[in-house]
Amino acid sequence: MVKKYYIITHGCQMNVHDSETIAGILESLGFVPSSEEKTADLIIINTCSVRETAENKVFTKIGELRKLKRENPDLVIGVGGCIPQQEKVAKQLMARFPHLDFVFGTHNLPELPKILEKVFEKHERVLEVWQSEGQIVEGVPVKREPGVRAWVTIMYGCNNFCTYCIVPYVRGRERSRKKEDIIEEIRQLVLEGYREVTLLGQNVNSYGKDLTGKPMFAELLADIDKIEGLWRVRFTTSHPRDLTDDVIDVMASSEKICEHIHLPVQAGSNRILKAMHRGYTREYYLDLVQKIRAKIANVSFTTDIIVGFPGETEDDFRQTLDLVRQVRYDSAFTFVYNKRSGTPAAEMANQVPEDVKSRRIQELIELQNAISLELNKKEEGKIFEVLVEGKSKTNESKLAGRTRTNKLVVFSGSEEFIGRLIKVKITEGKLFHLEGEIA
Ligand code: SAH
Ligand code: SF4
Ligand code: F3S
């Protein structure tokens, strides 16, 4: 009988893309997707460890799956991703949950077929997490979401060790894919009908530093820009410290690279930036934003901000608000600092009380929402080229797509427009999207 799989994914785009690889591997082994957990023969949870609270939720979820396993003893349950990449936690998982069949990490994802063979054929429980990165494996099957947009990893890992962040510990050191492999993958995607790619990496501006010949990120972008049949290129995430002029210049002169930069600032006070180990000052960051605005017309900015980092005073926080007012981000992901054990900041003495953190984040969200709405209102009456992705998720009778600046546009139109570039006139700017009509 054909076996069905169900994948639960947490975390960042990197993990979402890893789940596409897990699905690709499973389908190459003959598994088919299941529309719900209950009917699956194999459930895999692809986890995120960036916040400790999220980690606890995963533990609860695994506990809950025990019930399904009682009803169906043949059900196989696996946990992968960033949580088990912490050796201690992987062992805890195996010990605490006897109904868990296998645990794997981010580094040994391509080994999944071997692990599954042990589990399904030899009925073994398997704990297999590599502590070091290993070679990049090319040619692993990927099952992508159908549509016009695809995600392409250009580098793995992170060398930055921001003091609050677990990612470098669970994703290992920076490793870049060869330029030719990336270009070839994108060419193939274009043949399959994809029109937009988002290049993924924790720090894309470090691309190539570990490769022979040291191809730069700007070079990679320039080469991708030449790929025929591709319409749009995006990338994430840019570390402000490493975003060089040549990248800005390529963005400005290219045809396909979209006018949007996700530029996580994290904090607006130099003292906190230093304690975070971010490697730039607020003045440097503000200059960088100005420089980008001067070279790229109508560029949009988004960011990540943490409030309540250990030692953050009211004055430090005011400086974050002030920076947000100066930059005027189109939107921002805002986070309450979460004490992540295993990172240096978790050991810092002056942790900020929870009630202070919640008040600060409320204030920050209110400010950012006011700015987002104002900026979206300013788009009213303008005409944008929208790449139509599909039906709107909130209103099935409408279509949804994005501007080059990465704003979501919802409008009425024929389903034939899906996958095409359509001119849309904005009728109303809302907080998180724009309403429009075909121009
Ligand atoms: N490499 C990317 C994304 C890293 S994780 C980057 O450098 O921007 C995504 C976001 O999670 C980070 O930008 C940060 O804002 C947030 N984050 C990471 N660790 C955190 C923690 N311990 N508490 C709160 N937010 C955190
Ligand atoms: Fe984490 Fe900093 Fe690396 Fe981003 S750059 S993944 S925040 S350590
Ligand atoms: Fe991403 Fe979370 Fe891992 S943010 S890299 S899935 S720890």
Pairing of strands 421-429, 434-438: antiparallel
Query: How many angstroms does the Cα of residue 15 sit away from the middle of ligand 3?
Result: 6
Number of the ligand 1 atom closest to the C-alpha atom of 201: 1
Tell me how long the chain is.
Answer: 439
Query: For ligand 1, atom 3, which residue shows the shortest CA distance?
Result: 202
Does ligand 3 come within 6 angstroms of the Cβ of 171? yes
- 270-305 residue pLDDT tens: 999 999 999 999 999 999 999 999 999 999 999 999
Question: Taking the chain, what is the end-to-end CA distance rounded to the nearest angstrom?
Answer: 52
Q: Is the peptide bond before 334 cis (omega within 30 degrees of 0)?
A: no
Query: For ligand 3, atom 2, which residue shows the shortest CA distance?
Result: 48
Query: 152 pairs with which residues across the strands?
Result: 199
pLDDT the model gives residue 384: 98
Give Cα 162 distance to the centre of its chain. Answer: 17
Token output for 401: 């797509």
Mean pLDDT by 10 residues, the chain (439 residues): 94 94 96 95 96 90 94 95 93 95 94 95 92 86 93 96 96 95 97 97 95 93 98 97 96 97 98 98 98 97 98 98 98 96 95 97 98 98 97 94 98 96 98 96
Q: Does domain 262-378 have CATH number 3.40.91.50?
A: no
Does ligand 2 come within 6 angstroms of the Cβ of 333? no
Same fold, 144-258 and 262-378: yes
pLDDT the model gives residue 55: 86
Calpha distance 121→417 (Å, rounded):
47
Calpha distance 439→435 (Å, rounded):
12
CATH class of segment(s) 383-438: mainly beta
pLDDT the model gives residue 152: 97
Q: Which ligand is nearest to the CA of 236?
A: 1
Q: 224: helix, coil or strand?
A: helix
DSSP 298: T
- 161-171 residue pLDDT tens: 999 999 999 99
pLDDT the model gives residue 286: 98
pLDDT the model gives residue 131: 85
Does ligand 2 come within 6 angstroms of the Cβ of 160? yes
* Topology, domain 4-128: Rossmann fold (3.40.50)
Q: 116: helix, coil or strand?
A: helix
Placement of tokens 């050991």 in the chain: 347
Task: Give the residue from 209, 330, 187 showing the smallest Cα distance to 258.
Answer: 330
Q: Is the peptide bond before 106 cis (omega within 30 degrees of 0)?
A: no
Token output for 353: 């009380």
Q: Which ligand is nearest to the CA of 346?
A: 1
Q: Are 21 and 142 in contact (CB under 8 A)?
A: yes
Q: Where are the domains of the chain?
A: 4-128, 144-258, 262-378, 383-438
Query: How many angstroms does the Cα of residue 246 sit away from the middle of ligand 2?
Result: 22
Q: Does domain 144-258 have CATH number 3.30.750.210?
A: yes
pLDDT the model gives residue 100: 96
Please list, in sequence order, all residues whose beta carbon lies within 8 angstroms of the beta carbon of residue 158, skipping any fewer than 6 positions away: 165, 167, 168, 171, 173, 174, 202, 203
Task: Give the residue from 137, 219, 235, 224 showing the smallest Cα distance to 177.
Answer: 137
Token output for 322: 């002030």
pLDDT the model gives residue 340: 93
Q: What residue numbers does the annotated binding site for [4Fe-4S] cluster cover?
A: 12, 48, 82, 158, 162, 165
Pairing of strands 331-336, 196-200: unpaired
Task: Give the residue from 280, 285, 287, 238 showing the smallest Cα distance to 258.
Answer: 238
Placement of tokens 């506990």 in the chain: 63
pLDDT the model gives residue 1: 80
Does ligand 3 come within 6 angstroms of the Cβ of 15? yes
Token output for 192: 């399959």
The single-letter code of the amino acid at 178 is K
